Amino acid sequence: MFAVVARRYDLLNHLLSANLDRRWRQRTALAAMPSRDRKVEDTSPITVVDVCTGTGDLAVEVLRRVPRAHVVACDYCRPMLERARDKLARLGLARRTALIEADVLALPLPDASADAATCAFGLRNLDEPARCLAEMVRILRPGGRVAILEFHRPRDQGALAGLFGLYFRHVLPRLGGWISRGRHGAYAYLVTSIRDFGPPEGVADAMREAGLDQVRVEPQAGGIASVYVGQKPCETVRRDAGAVGVPTHRAAGSASIAARRAGRPAAHNVERSAAIRR
List domains and CATH numbers for the chain: 2-267 (3.40.50.150)
Pairing relationship of beta strands 114-120 and 69-75 according to DSSP bridges: unpaired
pTM over 0.85: no
Contacts of 170 (CB under 8 A, 6+ apart): none
Pairing relationship of beta strands 213-219 and 225-231 according to DSSP bridges: antiparallel
Pairing relationship of beta strands 225-231 and 69-75 according to DSSP bridges: unpaired
Q: What is the pLDDT along the chain (278 residues), one digit of tens a residue?
A: 554 454 555 556 556 655 677 889 999 999 999 765 444 456 789 999 999 999 999 999 999 999 999 999 999 999 989 999 999 999 999 999 999 999 999 999 999 999 999 999 999 989 899 999 999 999 999 999 999 999 887 766 556 666 766 766 667 666 666 665 555 555 666 667 776 777 889 999 999 999 999 999 998 876 778 999 999 998 644 444 444 444 333 333 333 333 333 343 333 333 443 344 33
Q: What is the pLDDT of residue 75?
A: 95
